[in-house]
Amino acid sequence: MQTYTIDDVRKIHDLPITTLIFKAQEVHHRCQDPAGVQACALKSIKTGSCPEDCKYCPQSAHYNTFVEKEKLMETDAIVEEARMAKDSGATRFCMGAAWSNVPQGAQFNSVLETVSSVRSLGMEVCCTLGMLDETQASRLFEAGCSVYNHNLDTSREFYSEIISTRCYEDRLETLSNVRKAGMEVCCGGILGMGEKEEDRLSLLAELANLDPHPESVPINALVAVEGTPLKDEEPVDGIAFVRVVATARILMPRAMVRLSAGRTLMSEELQTLCFLAGANSIFLGDKLLTTENPAKDQDFALLEKLGLRSIHPDEARSAQGRSTNKSHALV
């Protein structure tokens, strides 16, 4: 597997935009279904009071935001949300909880029960619950969780400017535990937090040097929330965002590159450029954890306008030349 330096990434990232998108499309057609877009749903199952101090996050207990604290949802309520998401066209259901570390005991057991119940609907299950150890990762996988999300957020160099309550190595250790358990890795970052272009290149190099590459790479545009330290940050430049998407596609050919938070700030034309640059996954629903997201009808109308279609996770893996873990195959 090739190891990338920041200079390697820069040579790709700084290509003329027409050449960059052309090269991204070459890779996309070779390693993905060029018309397929994975539709995911994301639900906050435990909201607020997070002890971490991530400066972008309205769920942090360190900041006074609009977010109201909510305890862990009951399994039946979450399963009903998953059922509605499936009826809306989602094939992956992601559950997020505002924890620093995955708790032991009754709460984790409840999550495991929920994972199994959602999985029984025939949906792919993803969780993002904070840091977890090897045993917890194995139990999640055995319960039916196929994918675990744990973002690096930004570069090593800029990380301490955004978060002080955990270190970069903590995140990498969780990703290692996820891999050992047999789950797929969903890992990306956030643009527009005041980082420099060099930080974006460093983040891309970090992701591309994970062995194997993450199966999913969410690329978020910061949603500046009142009450957080980043409330006054200007939206990330659209073309700069597209360059990161295209570079991610070239560096990680078989990953699903996901347009995540911040799409409400993007025009249809900018989202289309992102699809041209190699993005092939979106979140459905009018909310991502606690921030706004385009309505699903808008999303499907745009996909139809562009001649794109929703793709089943196993169909996507087949196009990528990857196999599905037999114990987690969707039927």
Give the residue, 253 or 65, on which the prediction is more confident. Answer: 253
Active site residues: 50, 54, 57, 94, 126, 186, 258
Q: Where are the domains of the chain?
A: 6-319
What would be the CATH architecture of the domain defined by 6-319?
Answer: Alpha-Beta Barrel (3.20)
The confidence score (pLDDT) of residue 285 equals 59
Query: Any idea what DSSP says for residue 57?
Result: -
The confidence score (pLDDT) of residue 296 equals 62
H or E element that contains 296: helix 296-306
Above 50 in pLDDT, residue 331?
no
Mean pLDDT computed over every residue of the chain: 90
- Residues 240 and 201: beta-carbon distance below 8 Å: no
Q: Residues near 208 by Cβ (< 8 Å), separated by ≥ 6? A: 4, 9, 251, 252
Stretch 266-271: mean pLDDT, rounded? 94
Stretch 302-317: mean pLDDT, rounded? 89
Per-residue pLDDT tens digits for 26-50:
999 999 999 999 988 888 888 777 8
Q: How confident is the model at residue 288 (pLDDT cuts 50, 70, 90)?
A: very low
Q: How confident is the model at residue 294 (pLDDT cuts 50, 70, 90)?
A: low
Per-residue pLDDT tens digits for 208-242:
999 999 999 999 999 988 899 999 999 999 999 99
Q: Model pTM?
A: 0.91
Pairing of strands 281-284, 216-221: unpaired
Q: How confident is the model at residue 139 (pLDDT cuts 50, 70, 90)?
A: very high
Stretch 140-149: mean pLDDT, rounded? 95
Above 50 in pLDDT, residue 249?
yes
The confidence score (pLDDT) of residue 104 equals 84
Q: How confident is the model at residue 328 (pLDDT cuts 50, 70, 90)?
A: low
Q: 3-state SS of the chain: helix, strand, coil percent to 5? A: 40, 20, 40
